A = this chain, B = another copy of it.
């Protein structure tokens, strides 16, 4: 009601906050003993005996044996029961729909990939629901055991409303309340999230961000996406569009971007921008290995070709990618000076860049970011397992679950 006032804490919220804290800690650092959990959450051992007993009763946590101990009684280690429930991760990309079934540890059990252009049934939602049903059927899992669904898609969208707004090039996905639609269709809680945000979250849970609670994630996949994690939580801003590093400007007199801004990082560092730079240089007479592969017209040149060529020591490709990295680095410098994160995580496709290209990104940050912020900054590369996109989506579902542990503990059977 009064959003601007500060909320108090009642006993119920204490209970659920503590269960959420314990679950999250266990997930991220398992196996842990009760004692470990008590230390990490700042709760007492007695409280942890109680809370853990609830989790054991609910069958979501198990004792996995004994830990090492220099002296004294050996701790009983605890871990999630990986297959107590299963998570569905759905990623909508510009080219395909990927659906993954995951256990509670985010291990992929089954993956289904379908071209986004190929429709099944009446509309995009029908297609999606059909594919989800198909994926679950193929996996052989009982719907009863699927506890949450995460959906990631390129923006713009509203995670809170679960609504896709107006994705470029996909008019029939416009203004669809995808979250509620999926949730109602399967009677399973569902969350919709920006794809880069979902991946940022995945880095936090099981990738390069495990050690950090405050970081900026960027990926250069289809467009330049990014996400910010603050205090271990996705930071989405007041209207849900925060963290658009790709649409910060590094040159206010630069070319106009589709977003309305001028000189966006995306204009210099995204895949299409990189391809365009190579084409321009080639048209201006620069020689490149890429002509050996694609002919003199560079037919069908892609971002991947440029990355591949750079690994074959093609000077033009290396030069263009380094320049893109410097542009991205400059965008990150601005983000660092505003957000002062513990780490920068470089996501998909950046992980395939040559080291010397990434080094020029690091160099820009070292030289240009505020020294106090740059000094302790970690710049690391993604460590997400495949299928990365669906994992990110499933991770959003996991995050939703662990933040609302009654979804796990006080579960009423679902209806497929």
* A residues neighboring B (CB under 8 Å): 1-11, 13-14, 17-18, 20-22, 24-25, 28-29, 39-44, 47, 156, 165, 211-214, 228, 230, 232, 236-245, 247-253, 259-262, 326-327, 330, 333-335, 337-342, 367-373, 375-376
A270 to B2, CA, bound (A): 37
A212 to B237, CA, bound (A): 13
- Residue from B250, B327, B373 in contact with A251 in the complex, judged by beta carbons closer than 8 Å: B250
A210 to B29, CA, bound (A): 40
Query: Do A341 and B238 have beta carbons less than 8 Å apart?
Result: yes
- Which chain B residue has the least Cβ–Cβ distance from A213? B4
Query: Do B339 and A6 have beta carbons less than 8 Å apart?
Result: no
- Residue from B10, B242, B249, B372 in contact with A339 in the complex, judged by beta carbons closer than 8 Å: B242
Collect the chain B residues with CB atoms within 8 Å of residue A40's CB: 1-2, 5
25 contacts between A and B (CB under 8 A): A2-B39, A4-B28, A4-B213, A5-B25, A5-B40, A5-B41, A6-B24, A8-B17, A8-B22, A8-B42, A8-B47, A9-B14, A228-B338, A237-B373, A238-B340, A238-B342, A239-B373, A241-B373, A245-B338, A249-B368, A250-B251, A250-B252, A252-B326, A260-B370, A339-B339
Query: Do B338 and A244 have beta carbons less than 8 Å apart?
Result: yes
* Contacts A41-B5, A251-B251, A333-B261 given; does A156 touch B372 at CB 8 Å: yes
What is the CB-to-nearest-CB distance from A336 to chain B, in angstroms, rounded to a whole number? 9
A245 to B41, CA, bound (A): 35
What is the CB-to-nearest-CB distance from A38 to chain B, in angstroms, rounded to a whole number? 9
Collect the chain B residues with CB atoms within 8 Å of residue A335's CB: 338
* Contacts A249-B333, A334-B249, A370-B244 given; does A341 touch B237 at CB 8 Å: yes
A1 to B375, CA, bound (A): 22
A18 to B338, CA, bound (A): 31
Collect the chain B residues with CB atoms within 8 Å of residue A156's CB: 372
Query: Do B252 and A253 have beta carbons less than 8 Å apart?
Result: no
A6 to B32, CA, bound (A): 14
Query: Do B338 and A370 have beta carbons less than 8 Å apart?
Result: no
